Amino acid sequence: MPAEGPRRRLLIVHHSLTGGARQMAWAALAGARAEDGVITTILAAGDADAADVLAAEGYLFACPENLASMAGVMKAFFDRCYYPVLDRLNGRPYAAMICAGSDGEGAARQIARIATGWRLRAVADPLIICTHAQTPEAILAPKVIPPADLAQCEELGSALAAGLAMGVF
């Protein structure tokens, strides 16, 4: 049952060059929108700004890992928004999803460090979907995330939205 009062807001910010992280973000959006009591917005990292971050009560960040780091466009989003929202998000929940060719841990660590600086609260372990793309051709090829992996993304979106709606986060 949704919490009394105004609906809470969940912001999904994503970047994707080859489509993997985009598919993950949209699957999470489907899960989040299935929950009552939450308004969910999805924005590309290049379009999101500090006002979007401040308007939300919870966050889901989705990006690929590039060269053992988060994608540059996602990093630019955090750079643009970091100081304008600093000390204004304390305690808000977040989760992260990484589309990786190998392990994804570098990007997950970077997002966690930024979230720690913003004093966000992780409410789930990072969801890392590995595509096993290791050659230049495979890395640059459009990605197709398997249905079982997209189901995990949908579940994460649903759980984050449900927690917001119930006031758990």
Question: Which pLDDT score, from 0 to 100, does residue 121 have?
Answer: 98
Residue 60: which H helix or E strand, with range? strand 58-66
CATH number at residue 129: 3.40.50.360
Q: Containing domain of residue 51, as a range? A: 8-166
Q: Give the residue-averaged pLDDT of 87-110.
A: 97
- Residue 47 domain flag: yes
> Structure tokens of 116?
């720690």
- If we measure between CA atoms, which residue out of 114, 157, 42, 72 comes closest to residue 165? 157
Q: Confidence class of residue 1 from pLDDT cuts 50, 70 and 90?
A: very low
Enter the DSSP assignment of 2.
P
- Residue 85 domain flag: yes
Number of C-beta neighbours around residue 57 at 10 A: 18
The string of pLDDT tens digits covering residues 15-53 is 999 999 999 999 999 999 999 999 999 999 999 999 999
- Residue 2 domain flag: no
Question: Which pLDDT score, from 0 to 100, does residue 3 have?
Answer: 44
- Residue 125 domain flag: yes
Question: Which pLDDT score, from 0 to 100, does residue 5 have?
Answer: 62
Domain count, the chain: 1
